[in-house]
Amino acid sequence: MKFVSAPPMALAAFLAAAAALSSQAQPAPQSTPAPQAPQQGNGKVIFSRSTDENGQTVSTTGPAAKGAAGTMVSAPVADDAERRALAFAAYDLDVRLRPLDEHLAVRAAVTVRNNGNSPLTHIPLQISSSLDWERIRLRGRDLAFQVATLNSDADHTGQLHEATLILADPLAPGATLQLDLTYSGAIPPSGQRLVNIGTPADVALLSDWDGVGLEFTGLRGFGNVVWYPVSSVPAILGDGTRLFDEMGEHKLHMQGVRFKLRLTDEFPTGHAPTVALVNGRPLDLSITAGNEEISGVASATVDEVKLGFEAPSIFVAIRKPVEATHTTIWTLPIDESAVPGWSSAATEVNPFIESWLGQRAGAKLQILDLPDSDDAPYETGSMLATPIRAATAEHLDGAMAHALAHAYVAASKQNLPASHPSDEDMSPGTPEWLDEGVASFMGTLWLEKQNGRTRALESLEAERPALALAEPTSPGESPGQPLADAISPVYYRTKATYVLWMLRDIAGDAPLSAALRAYDPAKDPALLSTKTGSGGAAGEFERLIEQAGSRHDLGWFFADWVDADKGLPDLAIDSVFPTPGESGNTLVGVNLSNSGYASAEIPVTVRSEGTEVTKRVMVPARGKTIQRILIQGQPTAVQANDGTVPETQASVHIKAFGDAGDN
């Protein structure tokens, strides 16, 4: 079994290298029509996307799809500009599951908004190709719409069904529409998108395990299975990072979206579900028993909340709950023997997490046992879906440190009551760079606690090359991804983890811990004033660290590392000059330079045979500095940076006295 300290990257890595495979709507109408039987379509691809040798998108058309409601078309009606412009402001979903038939039926009241600069004539709405559009209504009247099948690996089938409304009166920029949508279909597990790029079918299903089933239903949302309406630009695996960028953009745009859901699960006698989780949070299930002729019904409700940086998800399963420290483990009978190890890990790690993040009332960690022992783990909010298997204490403790940290942060991250009436007022909670960054940071701190600082820094270094590759070489080359608006895990996880390590060394453990405990997005005025909900996080977090510690000048750090993406520093020891002093001391002058565009404060250490002296030194962006360090005895080497500050090349520089160059 593979335990992943940062589960969101597990899926990204798998999909990127799959061939080599071994983190204000109008209320819905009170009367909801009974779910219709799935229409058996025999749709064919009518729109295919790929890239040519110049990296340009190539589109081709083919025969129209068949079997769904609406008018079938031989080419898509909407274009990518219209897909990008359409945003969802609110979802009110009535979801009906019939797991015996792998069936899902949804009636959705959605509010869409034109976020573009031009009026929208077309309203494109997409769902998984496993599902068929049945009805679209506006103000109580049925609308005509056209349906196309798009190739897009945002769904595990590799295709989306896109319904397009053609408006007589274009939707003005900033204007909204409330639509009533009905769709349904069977959702069995499908690894088709991975099979398309050469992955064996059985291996593909270990990653793409989403589906509706009797013992287990898992619907992870956009990027895995598109079970709710979206509007996205089609992207395929193998086309660089476009699919993953589209997945990140989707999560970013979901921040602050109002979300409401009613869930109904029809089950045969003896197969009542025991757990339901929506967006990572457990729901109270109401069970109405059936008999041999009538299905039982399990129902649950999510009152209106605001989403965080996430793809909405549904999990329903038959599992046995086992309580552990700040954790509920939902396990299959076959895996019960492994549960004590997981429970012990929670007991072992929780005091450490509390020592950093406090004993505030957080969300309880939910660990959901996946059906196959080799299924790829997945996490969202305070939920970790993973196979429950026996493993070493080291592996389990590391996984639990990451997961429990998410549970503590998730209390302020998601499912906030939607108490503000204005769509402009969207506070989705803790931004992703703090949520995922803190979880990964706690994982590395636990590694340091158990195995020493060197081992923890080695784990950071293992992720640095990917970050260096993603970063712009200069701010003028591209804006990169400021942490507040990052869409890629290499930023909101890897870079964020480095940022927290640097703040730890700059400000100290106690001030950083105090800031992490005190940060409350609901009290951040700048955060409340932004649509994305991310703009004020740096300022508020910076203020808390400065208030808690002795360093009151951290503006330079947040300006270069959080508020903007200035790339990584590129440091060097240009020269060293030892000067003998009195009483056997030596004054060592160390000349440092930084050819990068981000300033850095690094540790500089001078070593002799018997001792070493370290001082922290600020090396400005595109600048030079000199630091003089007094040491007892004859110096033997100078080291600049210890790996806590990520650089474009190596993050540790050592110059031995007498060397001609920098090692």
Alpha carbon 169 to its chain's center: 37
Predicted TM-score of the model (pTM): 0.85
Residues 134 and 232 in one domain: yes
* Domain finish residue from 301, 321, 341: 321
Residues 591 and 516 in one domain: no
| 190 occurs within a structural domain | yes
pLDDT tens, residue by residue, 219-252: 999 999 999 999 999 999 988 889 999 999 999 9
Residues 580 and 547 in one domain: no
pLDDT at 46 over 50: no
Residues 579 and 600 in one domain: yes
Place of tokens 């712009």: 472
| 83 occurs within a structural domain | yes
Under DSSP, the state recorded for 155 is S
- Evaluate whether 208 touches 190 at the Cβ level (below 8 Å): yes
Residues 298 and 438 in one domain: no
Residues 542 and 588 in one domain: no
pLDDT at 274 over 70: yes
Higher pLDDT, 416 or 507: 507
* Domain finish residue from 321, 342, 359: 321
- Residue 583 belongs to a domain with what CATH number? 2.60.40.10
| 146 occurs within a structural domain | yes
| 330 occurs within a structural domain | no
Under DSSP, the state recorded for 333 is G
- Residue 22 belongs to a domain with what CATH number? 2.60.40.1730
The mean pLDDT of 360-373, rounded to a whole number, is 89
* Beta-carbon-side half-sphere exposure of residue 179 (alpha carbons within 13 Å): 27
Cα(616)–Cα(642) distance, integer angstroms: 11
φ/ψ of 490, rounded to 5, equals -65, -20
pLDDT tens, residue by residue, 482-495: 998 999 999 999 99
pLDDT at residue 45 in the model: 37
Query: Could you tell me the residue range of the domain that residue 636 belongs to?
Result: 571-656
* Domain finish residue from 563, 587, 609: 563
Cα(365)–Cα(371) distance, integer angstroms: 19
| 339 occurs within a structural domain | no
Under DSSP, the state recorded for 263 is E
Across 421-449, b (16+ Cβ under 10 Å) vs e yields eebebbbbbbbbbbbbbbbbbbbbbbbbe
Residues 93 and 128 in one domain: yes
Residues 157 and 283 in one domain: yes
Cα(427)–Cα(420) distance, integer angstroms: 9
Higher pLDDT, 496 or 60: 496
The mean pLDDT of 67-91, rounded to a whole number, is 87
pLDDT tens, residue by residue, 558-603: 999 999 999 999 999 999 999 998 888 999 999 999 999 999 999 9
| 361 occurs within a structural domain | no
Residues 144 and 213 in one domain: yes
| Confidence tier at 635 by pLDDT (50, 70, 90) | very high
| 30 occurs within a structural domain | yes
Residues 536 and 586 in one domain: no
Higher pLDDT, 552 or 377: 377
pLDDT at 186 over 80: yes
| 510 occurs within a structural domain | yes
| Confidence tier at 293 by pLDDT (50, 70, 90) | confident
Opening angle at CA 245, ends 185 and 43, nearest 5 = 30
Residues 549 and 588 in one domain: no
Place of tokens 């996307």: 49
Residues 192 and 282 in one domain: yes
| Confidence tier at 178 by pLDDT (50, 70, 90) | very high
| Confidence tier at 101 by pLDDT (50, 70, 90) | very high
Number of domains present in the structure of the chain: 3
